[in-house]
């Protein structure tokens, strides 16, 4: 699967969002060990919510068609 870049627009279950950060493994300062062991994407949705999704999860959702790149 291709690399998803900052600025990529997505549609996620009817909500539109934009990738605002690509957080590479080990660079996010957090106490949550799960986040440190993989690449993550920060997504800002236009309804004001923010989510961080793991790279593998986001790619699986795209393959299933649950998330679409606009």
Give the pLDDT confidence of 8-54 residue by residue, as tens digits. 999 999 999 999 999 887 655 666 665 556 789 999 999 999 999 99
pTM across the whole model: 0.79
* 3-state DSSP percent of the chain in helix, strand and coil, to 5: 20, 40, 40
Cα–Cα distance measured from residue 41 to residue 17, given in angstroms and rounded to the nearest whole number:
12
Give the burial string for 16-31 (b: 16+ CB within 10 Å, else e): ebebeebbeeeeeeee
According to DSSP, residue 65 is labeled T
């Amino acid at each position: 699967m291709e690399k998803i870049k900052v600025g990529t627009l997505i549609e996620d279950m009817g909500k539109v969002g934009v990738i605002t950060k690509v957080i590479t493994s080990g660079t996010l300062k957090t106490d949550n060990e799960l986040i440190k062991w993989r690449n993550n994407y920060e997504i800002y949705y236009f309804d004001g919510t923010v989510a961080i999704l793991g790279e593998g999860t986001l790619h699986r959702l795209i393959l299933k068609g649950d998330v679409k790149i606009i």
